[in-house]
Amino acid sequence: MPLHLMLIVLVLLLILSGFFSLSETSMMAINRYRLRHLAKQGHRGARLTVKLLEKTDRLLGVILLGNNLLNTASATLVAIIVATLFANDDFALFIGTVAVTFAILIFSEITPKVIAAAYPERIALAASYVLTPLLFIFYPIVWFVNLFVRALLVLFRLQPQEGELDQKISTEELKTLVLEGGHFIQHKYQSMLLNLFDLETITVDDVIVPRSQVEAIDLDADDDLIESQLLTCHHTRLPIYRERMDNIVGIVHVRKVLNQMQNGKITAATLEKVMRKPYFIPSGTPLFTQLQLFQENQKRVGLVVDEYGEWMGLITLEDIVEEIIGEFTTHAPTQTSAFQKQDDGSIIVEGGTLLRELNRKLNVQFPLDGPKTLNGLILEHFEDIPEAGIGLSIAGCPMEIIQTKNRVVKTVKIFPSLMISDTKPKPTD
């Protein structure tokens, strides 16, 4: 063969070898979820790529078969060219070996793989049209080679998973995808998605309205007091109890009761006619599970009970929705805000405020794996009932107890602007 033809063949071998390197890197680097999306939309190249990636051993077999054959052929051809020009000179053969190695690295390996890593989707979809028929043609050889590969894997007790596209991602990995997609997902929607993931780890205890803050009606009270309470209440659904708060007998919708006013005065008997049976929720129920239960049972309000059957508080459908999309309701005009900002930058809050709400609104980092309220956190810290005027620091956030009453911390002054980096609870006098 003439020298110029051998040089042309050598260039072609290097180009074809570069194609296989392009294909290998692009197939392994392509975004699997983007590929699924394109395949569902009917993209032919995406469908071919999906089929190729379903059997990774066969795909890699045909790619490496072609790549190694071409590289070996290139080295052999260079040896022939050197022997023709320099009559089997050892030094010339060494220089030829170095030159062909350099050419393979630059033109057949490194450069194609860098390009493929930068544009994996474009190259993989185009390469699938070539690799699919090649795999069909060389399948017997690939199958024979893979016999030895599988034998070695069995020998070393390695069992690779079938199908790269069938791999699942964890919740934490999905969160990372949402965070990394900030350029494509609006910040508001990004926050909603992240909140949805947290519903499995948050329980009803984290968003409960404590029993001491629940507005309820006593059936044994005077009719005038019951009517006055219904006309001035700030909620649409109220628990009904008899004699004591522990004895909840029903839930009443205020609108239905007010409709009864056309027939006369509202009495305890009127409430008993329109109230529904209370819906109880076990303590520790995940919020996402409770959201589904509300939907299945067509309920909007539930009473949370502990393992002894004691009523702990109340949770509504709106409370769960607010955990996803943020607060959207406003306080009643007569209600005071749970957060009262002072001139010195401190904030006075009620002891029964939930820690999750404090973390979210004040940007503090109170631990959530123990007590659910600020009062519970302070009592756990002191292991006693503290007196008013005592200062302390929890999770690096200084605070001062303003009022204690009936063995409960009623109000606390928090200084979020003076937070320190130390996260260990330390009392400050």
Task: With H, G, I as helix, E, B as strand and everything else as coil, classify residue 239.
Answer: strand
Domain residue spans of the chain: 3-166, 204-325, 339-427
Question: What pLDDT, on the 0 to 100 scale, is given for residue 162?
Answer: 54
Could you tell me which residue, 23 or 33, shows the higher pLDDT? Answer: 23
Q: What is the pLDDT of residues 156-195, one digit of tens each?
A: 887 665 544 455 667 777 777 777 766 667 777 777 787 7
Residues in CB range of 253: below 8 A, 6 or more apart: 236, 237, 274, 276
* pLDDT at res. 116: 92
pLDDT of residue 260: 72
Q: Which residue has the tokens 């080295």?
A: 75
How would you classify residue 293: left for phi > 0, otherwise alpha for psi between -120 and 50, otherwise beta?
A: alpha
Dihedral angle of Cα 354, 359, 364, 370, to the nearest 10 degrees: 50
Q: What is the pLDDT of residue 131?
A: 92
Give the pLDDT mean for 291-307.
Answer: 90
**Res. 111 pLDDT band, cuts 50 70 90:** very high
pLDDT greater than 60 at residue 273:
yes
**Per-residue pLDDT, 164:** 46
Q: Locate 326 and state its tokens.
A: 């943020």
Q: Look at residue 425 in the predicted model and tell me its pLDDT.
A: 41
Q: Within a 10 A sphere around the Cβ of 278, how many other Cβ atoms?
A: 19
Whole-angstrom distance, CA of residue 21 vs CA of residue 66: 10
What is the chain's mean pLDDT, rounded? 83
pLDDT in tens, 81-110: 888 888 778 888 889 889 999 999 998 899
Rounded to an integer, the average pLDDT of 369-393 is: 88
CATH topology of domain 339-427: 3.30.465
Token output for 250: 């029903």
Long-range CB contact pairs, 326-333, < 8 A, 24+: 326/191, 332/234
* Rg, C-alpha atoms of the chain: 36
Residue 203 in this model has a pLDDT that exceeds 50: yes
Residue 331 has pLDDT above 70, yes or no: no
| SS3 state at 412 | strand
Instruction: Report, as an integer, the average pLDDT of 334-356.
Output: 77
Helix runs in 260-373, H state only: 268-274, 287-297, 317-325, 355-362
Q: What is the pTM of this model?
A: 0.59
Q: What is the pLDDT of residue 237?
A: 87
pLDDT digits (tens, 9 = 90+) for 127-165: 999 999 999 999 999 899 888 888 888 888 876 655 444
Half-sphere exposure of 368 (CA within 13 A, CB side): 17
Residue 305, SS3?
strand
Calculate what percentage of the chain has a pLDDT beyond 90.
23
Q: Which CATH architecture has domain 204-325?
A: Roll (3.10)
Question: What does the alpha-carbon distance between residue 15 and residue 23 come to, in Å, rounded to a whole number?
Answer: 12
Going by C-alpha positions, the residue among 13, 14, 11, 27 that lies closest to residue 127 is 27
User: Average pLDDT of 53-59?
Assistant: 87
Closest C-alpha to 198, from 171, 176, 222: 171
Q: In this predicted model, which residue has the larger pLDDT, 201 or 398?
A: 398
- pLDDT tens track for 221-244: 888 888 888 888 888 888 998 888
Number of H helices, E strands in the chain: 17, 13
pLDDT of residue 428: 43
Strand pairing report for 397-405 and 347-350 = unpaired
Q: Which of 271, 294, 175 is nearest to 223 (CA)?
A: 271
Mean pLDDT computed over 298-322: 88
Mean pLDDT along residues 301-308 = 89
CA-CA distance, 101 to 123, in Å (whole number)?
A: 25
Residue 151 main-chain phi, psi, to 5 deg: -65, -40
Tens-digit pLDDT profile for residues 9-26: 888 999 999 999 999 999
Residue 420 pLDDT level (bands cut at 50, 70, 90): low
The lowest-confidence range among 74-78, 332-336, 373-377 is: 332-336
Predicted pLDDT at 182: 60
Tell whether the model's pLDDT for residue 270 goes beyond 90: no
Query: Taking the CA of residue 359 as centre, how many other CA atoms within 13 Å lie in the half-sphere pointing to its CB?
Result: 14
Angstrom distance (rounded) from CA 237 to CA 230: 10
328 vs 401, higher pLDDT: 401
